[in-house]
């Protein structure tokens, strides 16, 4: 009976650990998306003189913010600096060093997060596509739903409104740049003890290339 109780407790702790791992992975990914949206909105209202300055500012901000949220925040939240030279920092986590136990406990979260980020560009594309389709159907009053090329019915009052709605979005360069740079920084920071990050990084670069290549030809 005691052995059965121990096994049941272990199973419950294991299930709870996997649930917490999945929750942390999803939260990191969602926060990265929120950071990107907020950064774009705030920087566009600063008032840079050229589009190049706006693109560079957004790319740098999104890159370092997502890198901090993906790679540094996991390190800080689990660190214990009480008996180190950084004792004055208020970090009282479980680990005093990046030992084997740290990578066993935190490494899974990092790997799953990077794996989700590698496919996040597909999610962004299909979200943008679905939004465009819904807005176009609302513009037509949901008429000719099976024939999306029929645009005779429109609620747009001006030609610029019509062109903005029925053409593709503008090509923004900061999103793929930020994804690639965040992937490079995180992979080079944790790649030696977690070599699986290297093939995940290659997969991320391949996904970015495929989506950007197709979008430049048929979407933007």
| Residue ranges per structural domain of the chain | 2-218
Q: Find the radius of gyration of the CA atoms of the chain.
A: 23
Q: How far is 90 from 107, CA to CA, in rounded Å?
A: 23
**129 vs 201 pLDDT, higher one:** 201
Tell me what the pLDDT averaged over the chain comes to: 78
Pick the most confident of 9-13, 47-51, 131-135.
Answer: 131-135
Indicate the pTM of the whole model.
0.73
| Both tokens assigned to 43 | 């920087």
Pick the most confident of 25-29, 142-146, 206-210.
Answer: 206-210
Q: In terms of DSSP H, where are the helices of the chain?
A: 2-44, 51-67, 73-77, 100-140, 159-166, 174-190, 197-218
- According to DSSP, the residues that pair with 95 across neighbouring strands are 79
**126 vs 90 pLDDT, higher one:** 126
Pick the most confident of 9-13, 24-28, 179-183.
Answer: 179-183
- Residue given tokens 């840079």 in the structure block: 48
How far is the CA of 191 from the CAs of 56, 78, 87, 201, 203, in angstroms?
27, 19, 28, 10, 15
Average pLDDT over residues 161-187: 87
Q: Report pLDDT digits (tens) over 9-22.
A: 434 444 444 455 56
Indicate if the pLDDT at residue 155 is higher than 70: yes
Average pLDDT over residues 162-189: 87
Average pLDDT over residues 107-115: 85
Closest CA to 119 of 66, 64, 166, 183: 183
């Amino acid at each position: 009976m005691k052995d059965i109780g121990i096994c049941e407790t272990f199973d419950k702790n294991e299930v709870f650990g996997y649930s917490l791992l999945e929750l942390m992975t999803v939260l990191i990914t969602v926060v990265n998306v929120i950071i990107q949206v907020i950064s774009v909105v705030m920087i566009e209202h600063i008032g840079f003189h050229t589009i190049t300055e706006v693109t560079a500012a957004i790319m740098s901000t999104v890159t370092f913010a997502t890198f901090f949220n993906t790679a540094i925040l996991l390190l800080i939240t689990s660190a214990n600096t009480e008996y180190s030279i950084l004792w004055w920092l208020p970090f009282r986590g479980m680990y005093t060093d990046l030992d084997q136990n740290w990578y066993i406990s935190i490494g899974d979260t990092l790997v799953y997060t990077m794996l989700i980020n590698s496919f996040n560009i597909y999610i962004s594309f299909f979200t943008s596509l679905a939004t465009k389709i819904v807005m176009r159907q609302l513009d037509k009053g949901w008429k000719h739903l099976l024939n999306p090329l029929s645009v005779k019915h429109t609620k747009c009052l001006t030609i610029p409104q019509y062109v903005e709605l029925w053409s593709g979005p503008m090509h923004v360069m900061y999103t793929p740049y930020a994804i690639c740079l965040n992937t490079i920084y995180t992979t080079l920071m944790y790649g030696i003890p977690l070599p699986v990050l290297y093939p995940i990084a290659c997969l991320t670069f391949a996904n970015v290339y495929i989506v950007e290549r197709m979008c430049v030809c048929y979407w933007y």
